[in-house]
Amino acid sequence: MPRISAIATAVPDLDFEPDYRRWALSRLGEGREGKLYERMANRSGIEHRWSVLDEADARLDEGVGFYGGEPPSTSARMAIYAEEAPELALKAIAGLPELGRVTHLVVASCTGFVAPGIDQIVARRLGLGADVERVLVGFMGCYAAVTALRTARHIVRSEPLARVLVVTVELSSLHHQEEMDLEPLLMGAQFGDGAAAAIVTAGEAGLELGEGISAALEESDELITWRIGDTGFHMRLSGEVPGRIATALAEPIVQQRGTGGRDPGEIAAWAVHAGGRSILDAVEKGLHLSPDALDASREVLRLCGNMSSSTLMFALKRIMRDRPESGVALAFGPGLAMEGFRFGWADAG
């Protein structure tokens, strides 16, 4: 059976969370909305978020840095993506204990586009053979890591000698938008940059990748959207999302699909996309999980914020250290859709 034998992660050097909070408060002022923002930011569970921009460019003050004048065009943002996304991806790959002979490369990213693609750039920079098969998973949003890992699973199941390198890289900080209202400012306070890399193969010890999980909520198309505009990519994240997730997960048929018939409390590990504190609270409530069940995801949220597709990989890395006998990975994204898979530790052989 296919297994994740190693996971490595990377974030850029600049923590821009303090500057964003200062800037957001300056937009809202000292009145009711400013105080509400500060209270909600303090309760968000996020202490750090990272950006590929340098300290000067990341400043949000008017007249300073990349965002200081007129909102940067999408082409200007993509120029930075083309340069920085491969670098951050390679930083994550460098953290793998052993790359070995890679036969397939699967890359997921939804925060930028470049051609030749990130997959080709990374393959060339790593010196991978010209015969390495590549798959690029683009613009799927926060659950793209699930799709990338399930793709690797299918490859290994069809080619048992395959060694698949899976990479996720997201530069969410390139899509900052000038906003004056409380709701979009709070949404913008969730996202940061990050990359992860994993090896999926057969026979080595690791997290065995089990059956996939997919579910799309009815009449939810507009709850999470991710649209390309003239000044970057524009996200809409409805406040209804946590409640809809909690309601959906409470349904017996959804729980049956997710856990394979087991009671959620019997599952040893939960790797849940840390889309925000309210998302994690909704999962905990919907599945009636213990207060510590999502500790790995909450710690990722605290240290890095929401890194779109990379976030789940960060949680899996933490969970992998404990070698859980059973686990479920879940992520949520545009649709509103839930994607996931079951997993469990397996020794070599």
Written as one string, the DSSP assignment of 252-299 is HHHHHHHHTTS-GGG-SEEEE--S-HHHHHHHHHHHT--TTTTHHHHH
| 142 flagged as catalytic | yes
Calculate Rg over the CA atoms of the chain.
Answer: 20
- CB proximity list for 213: less than 8 A, separation 6 or greater: 257, 258, 328, 330, 338, 339, 340, 341, 342
- Among 24, 118, 123, 142, which one carries the catalytic annotation? 142
DSSP classification of residue 220: -
User: Do 236 and 222 form a contact (C-beta atoms < 8 A)?
Assistant: yes
Count of Cβ atoms closer than 10 Å to residue 66 Cβ: 20
- For residues 166 and 81, what is the distance between their CA atoms, to the nearest angstrom? 19
Distance (Å, rounded) from C-alpha 10 to C-alpha 94? 9
What positions carry a catalytic annotation? 142
